[in-house]
Amino acid sequence: MAASLLDRAGICVSVLCLLQCLALSLVIVLAPVVSLGIFGSDLFHRLLLSVILPIGVAAFWLGYRRHGSLGLLLTGLAGLALVLAAAVLEATVLSPLAASAVTSVGGVTLVVGHWLNLRRGRGVCLQPAP
């Protein structure tokens, strides 16, 4: 039950992160001045990251313990690693557009991973006991 709730929360914050990142990419291309607002701030990115990371780690670990799918665990960890790498490397290595692209791929990976984790977990719960 807690894992299901964490996956749902993970999907929500990952979608929020993805939408923010995609919107920011469009804003950067269309009007660089707008990116100076709250969605472009380091504080906003840190806040999202501070929510996404613990929810993701907990949801994927609990899901793995429930259904035993290493592939799903690695998918979730890959999504988290991409989002974290983009956040850490944005200021030094990646351009804002490249960081947005990496974050977008990480966000999509997280949404898909949480969704599959949720589905796989339900399947385990619905199977009859041996």
d(CA 67, CA 63): 6
Predicted confidence (pLDDT) per residue in 35-52, tens digit: 556 656 677 778 888 989
Decide: 22 and 104 in contact? Cβ < 8 Å: yes
Both structure tokens of 113: 């991973």
Place of tokens 């990646």: 94
Model-level pTM? 0.69
Decide: 86 and 99 in contact? Cβ < 8 Å: yes
Predicted confidence (pLDDT) per residue in 6-26, tens digit: 888 888 778 777 777 777 666
Task: Report domain extents, the chain.
Answer: 2-125
Both structure tokens of 43: 């504080």
For 69, phi then psi, to 5°, come to -85, 105
d(CA 11, CA 88): 22
